[in-house]
């Protein structure tokens, strides 16, 4: 029986459960389950669970209940001493700083009383620590309260021997605006009080000073010694953060950096990368149209080529919004024998660097994504620079996921080479740029019988190049394993929509997403819904969701149960 399982087995089972409500139910079963499940419930109390703003607001309100448990003196009317069943703070391994900021802000919005005892409470942990929170007379008092509470929490974690393995710092402009206006707002302010970039920047600077002051403390540094995951967003204060963490962290497995001005963080970022023993995943993201620093080429070469130091362990590389001009930047890839995922997105990549990818064996590469990438103008006029990669049979034979969607680079004969060399694709996303792509597309479908997810797009730029009359034959040629279909600008009428679905003989269709061509013959999109309902009944399926949009861009998305 489950009740007789040893503690190790219970903890192994509980470690796979991510849902907070389920974990909360587990700790109420009995004392043994409580003792073994509590650390998983408290592992990540500051997480951001929902992207939907309304659901996330409810989530934040619920999360505010954590604060009086972590900080006993926070609520004067409900003082909780340290005499609790567990030292909850010892279980915390994940610290989402931006969501912690939102939780504390939400707490003060819902609890208008002040926290006069906050500084006194902190004194018992760090003599003289209150000096970190001296604010000018004009400083936003709510900001001071929020940062004081956050600092108390960091202090409690550091003094309570917590072991933080996951850290995210990614404040958004909306968070700062909400703080300053005490409500969510956009650029337009109904009260006529506009928030200038200077005000926002000044507030970010104050938050930075508080956070860095905490990170510089020896006990806080110890808190992050075993850090495995680090994510820093655009608005975050990366220079001092990276300078501190590059000397503290040696066991990072994941680094995600989103930055506008890489010249500022170049040295500490390179140092951080080189100091890792077993880095497995890195994401480096910039802003493609950001004005270039005169030394940009040299800076990006220095950062990306530093990955050579972790080539033995790196498994995933994601580059987004960068301009890779130096032709030797990707030369390190030849040493990345364990690379499994390579993603290049919204970037300029010189054709020579595509050749470096092609020259690398990459025997374990299973996912290759190249999306919205541009390259040498003189090259793309005559060929697709990605073609050299598709000629590497060692790379393509193991690919399970292939995403090639680059609107401003014609395919030329790229799909033909993919059709010749790919045999194990499960997910395949691409664009169609000319009629000669169509026969190659059918070859790809014929040779990849494990395919599950297919996404095809006809960009408006190539409308005149492609005859979409092949679409019904495509439905008939789909491998039976396909369960997700996304077609954009390839279906022009309700009748074509119906005919495609009728001729689709896959075993278990789950997702069917159609963006109709803007040049369409659709007078009543409701006919699609009526047809889908009949088709669903005939196939004895269960429709979970149906979404339609009838504006300038007609869309119909259907989701069926498994």
3-class DSSP assignment, residue 546: strand
Note whether 475 and 456 are within 8 A (CB).
Answer: no
Q: Are residues 211 and 63 in the same domain?
A: yes
411, 432, 465: which is the final residue of a domain?
465
Q: Are residues 83 and 212 in the same domain?
A: yes
Provide the whole-model pTM.
0.87
Q: Are residues 518 and 382 in the same domain?
A: no
What does DSSP say about strands 555-560 and 543-549: parallel, antiparallel, or unpaired? Answer: antiparallel
Q: Are residues 112 and 216 in the same domain?
A: yes
Q: Are residues 459 and 495 in the same domain?
A: no
Over its C-alpha atoms, the chain yields an Rg (Å, rounded) of: 27
Range of the domain at 515: 468-561
Q: CB under 8 Å to 305, separation ≥6 — which residues? A: 328, 329, 331, 332
3-class DSSP assignment, residue 378: helix
Q: Are residues 386 and 444 in the same domain?
A: yes
Split into its structural domains, the chain has a count of 4
Q: Give the residue from 300, 410, 277, 417 showing the smallest Cα distance to 347.
A: 300
Output the domain CATH number for residue 29. Answer: 1.20.1280
- The answer to whether residue 142 is domain-embedded is yes
In sign, the C-alpha dihedral spanning 256, 260, 264, 266 is: positive
3-class DSSP assignment, residue 58: helix
What is the rounded distance in angstroms from the CA atom of residue 268 to the CA atom of residue 274? Answer: 10
Q: Give the residue from 228, 160, 240 showing the smallest Cα distance to 204.
A: 240
Q: Are residues 98 and 14 in the same domain?
A: no
Phi, psi values for residue 490, rounded to 5°: -110, -15
Q: What's the per-residue H, E or C state across 416-482?
A: HHHHHHCCCCCEEEEECCCCHHHHHHHHHHHHCCCCCEEEEECCHHHHHHCCHHHHHHHHHHCCCCC
Q: Are residues 171 and 33 in the same domain?
A: no
Q: Are residues 19 and 56 in the same domain?
A: no
Instruction: List the pLDDT tens digit at each of the 562 positions of the chain.
Output: 456 788 888 889 988 888 888 988 988 889 888 888 888 888 888 887 655 555 567 778 788 888 877 776 444 443 334 556 777 888 899 999 888 888 888 887 777 554 554 445 444 444 444 433 334 334 456 777 788 788 778 877 877 678 899 999 887 777 777 777 654 444 444 443 455 677 777 787 778 777 787 788 787 788 889 999 999 987 667 788 899 999 999 999 999 999 988 999 999 999 999 999 999 999 999 987 766 678 999 999 999 999 999 999 999 999 999 999 999 999 999 999 999 999 999 999 999 999 999 999 899 999 999 999 999 989 998 999 999 999 898 899 899 999 999 999 999 999 999 999 999 999 999 999 999 999 999 999 999 999 999 999 999 999 999 999 999 999 999 999 999 999 999 998 899 999 999 999 999 999 999 999 888 777 778 889 999 999 999 999 999 999 998 877 889 999 999 7
- The answer to whether residue 351 is domain-embedded is no
- The answer to whether residue 348 is domain-embedded is no
- The answer to whether residue 461 is domain-embedded is yes
Output the domain CATH number for residue 545. Answer: 3.30.110
Q: Are residues 68 and 160 in the same domain?
A: yes
Based on the number of CB atoms within 10 Å of its own CB, is 414 exposed (0-12), middle (13-18) or buried (19 or more)? buried
- The answer to whether residue 319 is domain-embedded is no
Helices 173-181 and 97-110: crossing angle in degrees, nearest 10, is: 20
What is the rounded distance in angstroms from the CA atom of residue 58 to the CA atom of residue 66? Answer: 14
- The answer to whether residue 310 is domain-embedded is no
What are the distances in angstroms from CA 337 to CA 210, 272, 422, 452? 42, 22, 20, 27
- The answer to whether residue 68 is domain-embedded is yes
Name the token pair of 383. 């060929």
- The answer to whether residue 323 is domain-embedded is no
436, 465, 494: which is the final residue of a domain?
465
What is the rounded distance in angstroms from the CA atom of residue 210 to the CA atom of residue 212? Answer: 6
Note whether 369 and 393 are within 8 A (CB).
Answer: no
What is the rounded distance in angstroms from the CA atom of residue 204 to the CA atom of residue 197? Answer: 10
What is the rounded distance in angstroms from the CA atom of residue 119 to the CA atom of residue 140? Answer: 17
Q: Are residues 432 and 404 in the same domain?
A: yes
Helices 7-14 and 31-41: crossing angle in degrees, nearest 10, is: 40
What is the rounded distance in angstroms from the CA atom of residue 387 to the CA atom of residue 371? Answer: 14
Q: Are residues 72 and 20 in the same domain?
A: no
449, 465, 481: which is the final residue of a domain?
465
């Amino acid at each position: 029986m489950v009740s007789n399982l040893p503690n190790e087995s219970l903890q192994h089972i509980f470690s796979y459960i991510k849902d907070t409500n389920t974990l909360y139910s587990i700790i109420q079963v009995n004392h043994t389950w409580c003792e073994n499940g509590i650390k998983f419930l408290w592992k990540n109390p500051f997480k951001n669970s929902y992207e939907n703003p309304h659901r996330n607001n409810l989530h934040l309100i619920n999360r505010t209940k954590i604060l009086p448990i972590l900080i006993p003196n926070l609520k004067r009317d409900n003082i909780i001493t340290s005499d609790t069943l567990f030292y909850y703070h010892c279980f915390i391994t994940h610290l989402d700083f931006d969501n912690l900021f939102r939780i504390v802000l939400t707490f003060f919005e819902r609890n208008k009383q002040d926290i006069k005892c906050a500084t006194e409470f902190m004194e018992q942990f760090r003599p003289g620590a209150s000096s970190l929170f001296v604010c000018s007379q004009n400083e936003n008092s709510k900001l001071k309260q929020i940062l004081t509470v956050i600092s108390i929490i960091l202090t409690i974690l550091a003094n309570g021997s917590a072991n933080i393995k996951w850290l995210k710092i990614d404040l958004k402009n909306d968070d700062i605006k909400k703080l300053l206006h005490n409500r969510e707002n956009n650029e337009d302010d109904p009260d006529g009080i506009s928030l200038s970039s200077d005000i926002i920047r000044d507030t970010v600077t104050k938050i930075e000073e508080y956070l860095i002051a905490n990170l510089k403390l020896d006990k806080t540094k110890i808190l992050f010694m075993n850090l495995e995951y680090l994510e820093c967003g655009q608005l975050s204060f990366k220079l001092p953060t990276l300078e501190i963490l590059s000397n503290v962290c040696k066991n990072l497995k994941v680094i995600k950096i989103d930055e506008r001005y890489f010249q500022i963080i170049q040295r500490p970022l390179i140092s951080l990368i080189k100091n890792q023993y077993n880095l497995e995943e890195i994401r480096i993201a910039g802003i493609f149209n950001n004005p270039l620093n005169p030394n940009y080429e040299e800076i990006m070469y220095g950062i990306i080529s530093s990955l050579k130091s972790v080539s033995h362990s790196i498994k995933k590389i994601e580059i987004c919004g960068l301009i890779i001009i130096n032709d030797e930047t990707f030369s390190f890839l030849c040493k990345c024998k364990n690379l499994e995922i390579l993603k290049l997105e919204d970037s300029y990549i010189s054709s020579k660097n595509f050749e470096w990818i092609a020259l690398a064996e990459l025997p374990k590469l299973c996912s290759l994504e190249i999306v919205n990438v541009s390259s040498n103008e003189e090259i793309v006029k005559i060929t697709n620079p990605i073609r050299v990669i598709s000629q590497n049979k060692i790379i393509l034979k193991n690919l399970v996921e292939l995403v090639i969607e680059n609107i401003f680079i014609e395919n030329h004969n790229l799909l033909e080479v993919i059709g010749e060399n790919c045999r194990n694709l499960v997910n395949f996303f691409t664009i169609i740029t000319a009629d000669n792509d169509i026969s190659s597309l059918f070859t790809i479908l014929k040779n990849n019988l494990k395919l599950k997810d297919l996404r095809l797009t006809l960009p408006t730029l190539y409308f005149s190049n492609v005859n979409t009359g092949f679409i019904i034959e495509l439905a008939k040629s789909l491998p039976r394993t396909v369960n997700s279909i996304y077609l954009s600008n390839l279906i022009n009428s309700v009748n074509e929509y119906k005919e495609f679905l009728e001729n689709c003989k896959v075993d278990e269709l789950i997702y069917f997403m159609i963006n109709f061509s803007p040049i369409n013959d659709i007078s009543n999109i409701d006919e699609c819904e009526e047809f889908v309902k009949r088709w669903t009944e005939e196939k004895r399926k269960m429709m979970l969701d149906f979404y339609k949009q009838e504006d300038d861009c007609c869309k119909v998305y259907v989701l069926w149960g498994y």
